[in-house]
Amino acid sequence: MHYTVKTLLEKGKSQRYIAKTIGIHRKTIRRIKDCIEKGKPGPEPIQKERLLDTYKDQINDLIESGKTSVLIHEYLTKNRDVQVAYPTVVKYVRSLKHKEVYIPLICEPGEEAQVDFGYLGRFDKDGRMVKVWVFSMVLSHSRYSYNEIVLNQSVSIFITCHIHGFEYFGGVPEVVKIDNLKAGVITPSFYEPVIQHQYAEFLSHYGSSPVTARINRGQDKGKVESGIKYVKNNFLKRIEHSDYYRLGKDLREWTDNICNQRLHGTTRKIPAKVFEQVEKQALIKLPSERYEIYHTEQRKVNDYAHVAYKYNFYSVPYIYTGEQLIVKSNGCLVKIYRGNEIIAIHSLYHGQGKYITLEEHKPPYKQKKSREYYEERITAIGDNVRQFMNKLEQVKPRHWHEMLNGILSLEKSYDKESIDQSCARAIAYGAISYREVKNILENKLYKEQAEHVPITNLGGFGHKLKIYDKL
């Protein structure tokens, strides 16, 4: 203002003319003229203290915490008893906010794709009206786009659309920038996002990685948001029907023949030409096999070291009891993860109410040992014990393991030779059970010579009862 007044005065303009021209009072013009004549800088503008300056720091804190002008006005009038009108608060808050300067995000060929959903309205599908969205993937360098009609924004749909997009491009970008969608992001944080487990695994399969846009920062994914607007304003406004199936075909034709063939408003280039000439070669090659999509859920391990999935229970290693794990199924297998580590795999059981348990998941002392394990332990005690095990298998085919564990536990109190002789006596009397061997040991009956007793096939009940007195 000082230099403007000086210039106009030098041109011979009157103070009245200058005041009218630049919209300030003549007294201000006079003060500026006096300063010019005395060779001093222009007078400092008179700063009037505003009503809300007293609460400036508190208002700044409220702005930083995300409070709106409505909430700030409510705080001032109720908590601070400030008599101020709402428009005054709005104007003051606006003056405190610094206008953000955006830096253009320039991406190299093949570096980035941006994805998002946009709502298109309701369309007729098989006789009923359904909500329809468009999934859009835009390559940030060329602005070459892939668009697909969807009925929801589930994880499986989100990933399937990505696969179709990558195959449409014939390659994969280094990173995919996503909005804070539930399908892709669990905790919306730009600096440390917890990417949805299956989505992160999917991108890893294709050699790419996810990047999330910051909350309330539309410019971070402005390319795909502009792409969604273009779909709504250029494609959707051409549609004069409500047929869901026709809509999908129309969108594919529009994407190929109009969207990717237009002169882009920002780059002033045709996306399809830039893609074919530059970006296509820079994309990561597609893997030899498509990613297999699994249904994914989070489950807590119960006290039996099992997780519930579709009305059945599947075992995990007992050390994970009480933890939250991720369960994934493709309709044939059930895979259970702790973070990115797979800890159990089961075949999917199609019935209900069944416990599917792997022996290795049980605590060691509860695991059912193999026959080879028992045979090795028993042979080390003696040949009679090995014969006793063979007969025990015949007599108790379902419970011989438990009884044999009892025989092995006798080593804690008795020597191997005594156990072996006791088993020989038990065999001689046809008393094939752990309890009888233990009784022989406790009463030291193994030192007596056993009488010959003919063995019948009556489970021991065909003998005279006095025989058992001799055991």
Structural domain contains residue 106: no
Q: Is residue 394 part of a domain?
A: yes
Q: Which of 350, 368, 361, 365 shows the shortest CA–CA distance to 307? A: 361
Whether the CB-CB separation of 91 and 108 falls below 8 Å is answered with: no
Together in a domain, 307 and 358: yes
Residues 144 and 169 in one domain: yes
pLDDT at 259 over 50: yes
pLDDT-above-90 percentage for the chain: 44
Instruction: Check whether residue 302 and residue 401 sit in a common domain.
Output: no
pLDDT at site 239: 95
Are residues 226 and 257 part of one domain? Answer: yes
Same domain, 193 and 309: no
* Assigned domain for 101 exists: no
Specify whether 462 is located in the same domain as 373. yes
Strand pairing partners for 243? 124
Reply yes or no on whether the pLDDT at 453 is more than 60.
no
| Residue 457 confidence (pLDDT) above 80 | no
Whether 102 is in a domain gets the answer no
Please state the rounded mean pLDDT for residues 427-439. Answer: 89
Last residue of a domain, one of 249, 282, 315: 282
Could you give the number of structural domains in the chain?
5
Residue 238 within a domain: yes
Do 186 and 277 lie in a common domain? yes
- Per-residue pLDDT of 88-130, as tens digits, reads 999 888 888 765 544 456 789 999 999 999 999 999 999 999 9
pLDDT tier for residue 283 given thresholds of 50, 70 and 90: very high
DSSP three-state, residue 210: strand
| pLDDT classification of 460: cutoffs 50, 70, 90 | very low
Q: Determine phi and psi for 413, rounding to 5 degrees.
A: -120, -20
Could you tell me which residues are beta bridge partners of residue 329? 295, 334
Is the same domain home to 26 and 83?
A: no
Task: For the chain, give the mean pLDDT.
Answer: 84
| Residue 249 to residue 67: CA distance in whole angstroms | 45
Say yes or no: 360 and 412 in one domain. no
pLDDT of 199-234, one tens digit each? Answer: 888 999 999 988 776 444 444 456 888 899 999 999
What residues are paired with 316 via a beta bridge?
none
Q: Is the pLDDT of residue 187 over 60?
A: no
pLDDT at 147: 97
Looking at residue 15, what is its pLDDT?
80
Band of pLDDT at residue 346, cut at 50, 70 and 90: very high
* In-domain check, residue 62: yes
Residue 373 has pLDDT above 80, yes or no: yes
Query: CATH no. for residue 249?
Result: 3.30.420.10
Residues 89 and 209 occupy one common structural domain? no
Nearest to 202 by CA among 156, 170, 168: 156
Q: Are residues 126 and 262 in the same domain?
A: yes
Q: What pLDDT, on the 0 to 100 scale, is given for residue 191?
A: 40
- Distances 334 to 308, 316, 344 between C-alpha atoms, Å: 11, 11, 8
Q: Domain range spanning residue 448? A: 368-469
State the Cα–Cα distance between residues 271 and 114, nearest whole angstrom.
15
Q: Which residues contact 19 (CB under 8 A, 6 or more apart)?
A: 25, 26, 28, 29
Check pLDDT > 90 for residue 44. no
The whole-number pLDDT of residue 111 equals 92
Specify if 48 maps to a domain.
no
Domain stop point among 311, 337, 365: 365
Mean pLDDT is highest, among 245-254, 334-343, 445-454, 458-467, for: 245-254
Does residue 324 sit in the same domain as residue 387? Answer: no
The answer to which of 19-28, 398-407, 427-436 has the lowest mean pLDDT is 19-28
Q: What is the Rg, in whole angstroms, of the alpha carbon atoms belonging to the chain? A: 41
pLDDT band at 22 (very low <50, low <70, confident <90, very high): low
Is residue 7 domain-resident?
yes
Task: Give the integer Cα–Cα distance in Å for 299 and 149.
Answer: 32
Confidence class for position 2, pLDDT limits 50, 70, 90: low
